[in-house]
Chain A
């Protein structure tokens, strides 16, 4: 049997808006992914630790607090520090993210940013097509 894609759905920072994260977690599970949800109010260290411990293929970070430019790069940095390789994972961000910041986040190593209203089917599709591509790129 083919190994299921493992996804960590994470809330980082102080905001409590977890509707999107939880709905996403449910839908990814229903779409055949293995899903771990961190729960609320996690620090970047906690999220990075979970990503490494759980050996996930994809990490989806949800933020509505405007703190994405401060917190997301920290998560990526700690993943490396804890012995994980962020280049082998798909790193996705979702939530209220201004357009200008989307480019910034991508420069920091985020693969894609999903804004409010994005159909989850689009996220599922993205993971399925982009994960193998990113892995291939990393191996070559």
Chain B
């Protein structure tokens, strides 16, 4: 009988080689977006070392390569969760209600930069930025308006915010109480991932060590108080947007996740109590198969890490659940409707990769925040994949593909290599390794180098971006662009002044004093933050105390 090896050699000699001599091929070699060289074709020999039961298995079973749930989208579709927010709480509340009416199934909050950085709307640093790229939040009053008419026992809400994550979580709990929903029942996610801020996204306020301390405070408090809430969303998304490869995104995200687990365990938190409240967030870029492989590899890696390295015993702790956003950085200002196609491919990769929730970008986002029409098409893209394509009807249909399994394995190996290097930097501790990598610029340099490489390929025409360096046209932009009302800043400052005038300032002062003493004495800061929020202390006041105690962080400049 002919073996596969013999057959392949015969094919290469008798079939492929003469064909190449005659017809040639487009490129000398082909690579994924991460630079992994790929062969013409894959066959069973490429996945010989992969054991079906050990490495792939069935969905809902260790190592969860095929998905965390046994029947995945046959039970329920992923949550359709559009990242959304602009202007005042009223503006955003209106957009949210529109999206829910259009069939969105979860909320996701975009904050403006002053809120993200923990400064109030009347701070001189906030001038010109209030309500621009997200909703402006200063006090609980804004949250009351934001969630007006939105029942917190029925929706789950995601909050993309980091240094003030604890404050926002406290506000959500306070709103639930006002609506009469027990805090044990509220569902959602706070991003709360400072490590990736140091690597990439740069929303930086406090130095790394106290940032981690506060994150662990939130874990400790959240496990007891909001057991259905994801207390962190360990995010590769921004690492990728900053220019990393898919392999780096995978490796650094898993490394950060390990660092958080180690930090929690050092505090004495039981890994099995924390794990179910961890979630992840990935990017989905253009290289279709590489993205699918990345998601599958991430799940397999995390299951092994949680079970074998950190000794988690509950199978639920081995699950890597993740949100996906299509790649904002892949969108072009040129020929914006082409972005609908890019987003569709990326969204399909996310669904084939088994995501738990998905944000699809709008086609106008290289120009401004999405207009209503653009965000509707983005949501419809998910709905068409869900209801029309048939893709969600079989779990992990690409399993067993020689190429996809080979690439999943390859991504995993390359990511492990990075993780081992980081661990070495920390003398065996991932937490110390990641902190060291922040300190010595390792992450920033790796990501910058990859971003420069990607740009060079575009400049040299080696990487085609349709409508940008090939198939270009002279065009006039015809799509409508969302304009944020320039009055927003004035209105927001007015509201802030009114709240400050009407609140019980003595209660605010006491809560902030409690916070200061908790921070100084290394106690959990979430209890006083909860109190401060309820007394209508502003985000700037609360972050101000933390800045006083812990100092602020200035990032070293590495180009």
Q: How far is the CA of A98 from the CA of B203 in the complex (A)?
A: 24
Residue-wise, chain B 229-247 has the 8 Å CB interface mask toward A (1 for contact) of: 0000000000001110000
Q: Does B394 contact A (CB under 8 A)?
A: no
Contact B128 A69 (CB under 8 A): yes
Q: Does A137 contact B (CB under 8 A)?
A: no
Contact B368 A96 (CB under 8 A): yes
Query: In the complex, which of the residues B116, B125, B465 contacts A43, with contact meaning CB atoms closer than 8 Å?
Result: B125
Q: How far is the CA of A79 from the CA of B502 in the complex (A)?
A: 41
Q: Closest residue of chain B to A67, judged by CB?
A: B128
Q: Does A108 contact B (CB under 8 A)?
A: no
Closest chain A CB from B203 CB (angstroms): 5
Contact B113 A13 (CB under 8 A): yes
Query: In the complex, which of the residues A18, A25, A70, A115 contacts B127, with contact meaning CB atoms closer than 8 Å?
Result: A70
Q: How far is the CA of A43 from the CA of B123 in the complex (A)?
A: 13
Q: Does B202 contact A (CB under 8 A)?
A: yes
Q: How far is the CA of A31 from the CA of B333 in the complex (A)?
A: 25
Q: Closest residue of chain A to B460, judged by CB?
A: A121
Q: How far is the CA of A117 from the CA of B117 in the complex (A)?
A: 27
Chain A interface, DSSP helix/strand/loop, else mixed: loop
Residue-wise, chain A 52-77 has the 8 Å CB interface mask toward B (1 for contact) of: 00000000000011110111000000
Given known A-B contacts A16-B204, A39-B557, A116-B333, A99 and B129 have beta carbons under 8 A apart: no
Among B39-47, B70-78, B276-284, B447-455, the stretch in contact with A: B447-455
Q: Does B332 contact A (CB under 8 A)?
A: yes
Q: Does B66 contact A (CB under 8 A)?
A: no
Q: Does B270 contact A (CB under 8 A)?
A: no
A66 contacts across to B, CB distance below 8 A: 129, 132-133, 368-369, 484
Q: Does A80 contact B (CB under 8 A)?
A: no
Q: How far is the CA of A95 from the CA of B505 in the complex (A)?
A: 41
B202 contacts across to A, CB distance below 8 A: 16-18, 40-41
Query: In the complex, which of the residues B368, B369, B455, B484 contacts A23, with contact meaning CB atoms closer than 8 Å?
Result: B455
Residue-wise, chain B 121-153 has the 8 Å CB interface mask toward A (1 for contact) of: 000011111001100000000000000000000
Q: How far is the CA of A115 from the CA of B366 in the complex (A)?
A: 8
Q: How far is the CA of A37 from the CA of B558 in the complex (A)?
A: 9
B119 contacts across to A, CB distance below 8 A: 14
Q: Does A100 contact B (CB under 8 A)?
A: yes
Q: How far is the CA of A64 from the CA of B132 in the complex (A)?
A: 10
Contact B559 A26 (CB under 8 A): yes
B127 contacts across to A, CB distance below 8 A: 67, 70-71
Q: How far is the CA of A16 from the CA of B242 in the complex (A)?
A: 10
Residue-wise, chain A 102-139 has the 8 Å CB interface mask toward B (1 for contact) of: 00000000000001111111000000000000000000
Contact B203 A16 (CB under 8 A): yes
Q: Does A33 contact B (CB under 8 A)?
A: no
- Tell me which residues from 437 to 478 in chain B have a Cβ below 8 Å from any Cβ of chain A: 448, 451-452, 455, 458-459, 465, 467-469, 477
Q: Closest residue of chain A to B116, judged by CB?
A: A14
Contact B332 A117 (CB under 8 A): yes
Q: How far is the CA of A128 from the CA of B106 in the complex (A)?
A: 50
B366 contacts across to A, CB distance below 8 A: 96, 115-117
Query: In the complex, which of the residues A16, A65, A96 contacts B201, with contact meaning CB atoms closer than 8 Å?
Result: A16
Contact A117 B451 (CB under 8 A): no
Q: Does B38 contact A (CB under 8 A)?
A: no
B203 contacts across to A, CB distance below 8 A: 16
Given known A-B contacts A13-B129, A65-B129, A98-B368, A22 and B333 have beta carbons under 8 A apart: no
Closest chain A CB from B366 CB (angstroms): 4
Given known A-B contacts A117-B334, A117-B465, A119-B458, A19 and B113 have beta carbons under 8 A apart: no
B468 contacts across to A, CB distance below 8 A: 117, 119
Closest chain A CB from B114 CB (angstroms): 7
Q: Does A15 contact B (CB under 8 A)?
A: yes
Interface-central residue, A25, A37, A39, by most chain B CB under 10 Å = A39
Q: How far is the CA of A54 from the CA of B197 in the complex (A)?
A: 30
Contact B469 A65 (CB under 8 A): no
Contact B451 A116 (CB under 8 A): no
- Tell me which residues from 21 to 49 in chain A have a Cβ below 8 Å from any Cβ of chain B: 22-23, 25-27, 29, 37, 39-41, 43
Q: Does B331 contact A (CB under 8 A)?
A: yes
Closest chain B CB from A8 CB (angstroms): 13
Contact B451 A22 (CB under 8 A): yes
Contact A67 B201 (CB under 8 A): no
Q: How far is the CA of A17 from the CA of B365 in the complex (A)?
A: 14
A67 contacts across to B, CB distance below 8 A: 113, 127-129, 132
Contact A119 B241 (CB under 8 A): no
Q: Closest residue of chain A to B447, judged by CB?
A: A19
A27 contacts across to B, CB distance below 8 A: 452, 455, 459
Q: How far is the CA of A60 from the CA of B114 in the complex (A)?
A: 23
Q: How far is the CA of A67 from the CA of B484 in the complex (A)?
A: 11
- Tell me which residues from 299 to 325 in chain B have a Cβ below 8 Å from any Cβ of chain A: none
Q: How far is the CA of A15 from the CA of B111 in the complex (A)?
A: 12
Closest chain B CB from A135 CB (angstroms): 27
Query: In the complex, which of the residues B125, B126, B481, B555 contacts A99, with contact meaning CB atoms closer than 8 Å?
Result: B481
Given known A-B contacts A39-B555, A66-B369, A116-B333, A13 and B128 have beta carbons under 8 A apart: yes
A25 contacts across to B, CB distance below 8 A: 559
A19 contacts across to B, CB distance below 8 A: 241-243, 329, 451
Contact A14 B125 (CB under 8 A): yes
A26 contacts across to B, CB distance below 8 A: 448, 452, 559
B204 contacts across to A, CB distance below 8 A: 16, 40
Q: How far is the CA of A23 from the CA of B242 in the complex (A)?
A: 10
A120 contacts across to B, CB distance below 8 A: 455, 459
Closest chain A CB from B325 CB (angstroms): 15
Closest 5 CB pairs of A and B: A70-B128, A16-B202, A66-B132, A14-B113, A67-B128
Q: What are 29 contact pairs spanning A and B, CB under 8 A?
A: A14-B117, A16-B197, A17-B241, A19-B329, A19-B451, A22-B451, A22-B559, A23-B455, A27-B452, A29-B559, A37-B559, A39-B555, A40-B202, A41-B202, A65-B133, A66-B129, A66-B369, A67-B127, A71-B128, A97-B367, A99-B477, A100-B481, A100-B483, A115-B367, A116-B333, A116-B366, A117-B332, A117-B334, A119-B468
New contact pairs (15) apart from A19-B243, A67-B129, CB-CB < 8 Å: A14-B114, A15-B129, A16-B203, A22-B451, A29-B559, A39-B557, A40-B555, A66-B129, A67-B127, A96-B366, A100-B481, A117-B334, A119-B469, A120-B455, A121-B459
